[in-house]
Chains A and B, each alone.
Chain A
Amino acid sequence: ILNVEQSPQSLHVQEGDSTNFTCSFPSSNFYALHWYRWETAKSPEALFVMTLNGDEKKKGQISATLNTKEGYSYLYIKGSQPEDSATYLCACHTGNQFYFGTGTSLTVIP
């Protein structure tokens, strides 16, 4: 079983603040890193798929970076809005299956 860890577990920020979370994974047997946004009572929604060391992806005010050598990915949200409130989940693919972290729950306070 692969250990994928996310920190912090939860986060409260004020509207307009920028924030970031971490996803850590074992760097061996790494194929891809997926980020998802999961709102309460909905399904996970794909944000990014990243594979290469140094990869950077951006979608609106959300961006992510990947370091496969040291085994971590950062997700950044610039200028958080209340609608960004959700759980952000990462998943590591080892080539034959996915391992998910437990997520970072973000609450953006208006």
Chain B
Amino acid sequence: DSGVTQTPKHLITATGQRVTLRCSPRSGDLSVYWYQQSLDQGLQFLIQYYNGEERAKGNILERFSAQQFPDLHSELNLSSLELGDSALYFCASARGTGGSVDTQYFGPGTRLTVL
């Protein structure tokens, strides 16, 4: 158990809908990262927050947005869902400075199925 929690564990929804995935980092960790793993692609970095502010952005679609709240938990919002958004979404947290060398601890993931 990494100490990172993600809810819900599974989510099934329809195309066009909007969902929110939640991540609680390990106690004391200031950084949260979001990743997507779909069947036809490997792990893709979406976005990173550090202490409430966006730190780095990867291949995140405009239909997706994220934020980190004052208590450091983070939410990933996915809207206008398409079949191709079906994937496993991981969040990870890290303690350090928000830079490239921080060790990341991954949560168990949220499996999203869009029908």
Contacts and interface: CB of A to CB of B under 8 A. Distances in A.
Nearest to B41: A102
Nearest to B55: A96
B106 interface: yes
B42 A101 contact: yes
Contacts of B102: 49
B43 A44 contact: yes
B88 to A, nearest CB: 10
Nearest to A46: B103
A interface, size bucket: 20 to 34
A49 B104 CA distance: 10
Interface in B60-106: 90, 92, 99-106
Interface of A: 31-32, 34, 42-46, 49, 51, 89, 91, 93, 95-103
28 contacts: A31-B99, A31-B100, A31-B101, A32-B100, A32-B101, A34-B104, A43-B2, A43-B106, A43-B107, A43-B108, A43-B109, A44-B43, A46-B104, A49-B101, A49-B103, A51-B100, A51-B101, A89-B43, A91-B43, A93-B101, A96-B57, A97-B57, A98-B45, A99-B45, A100-B44, A101-B42, A102-B42, A103-B42
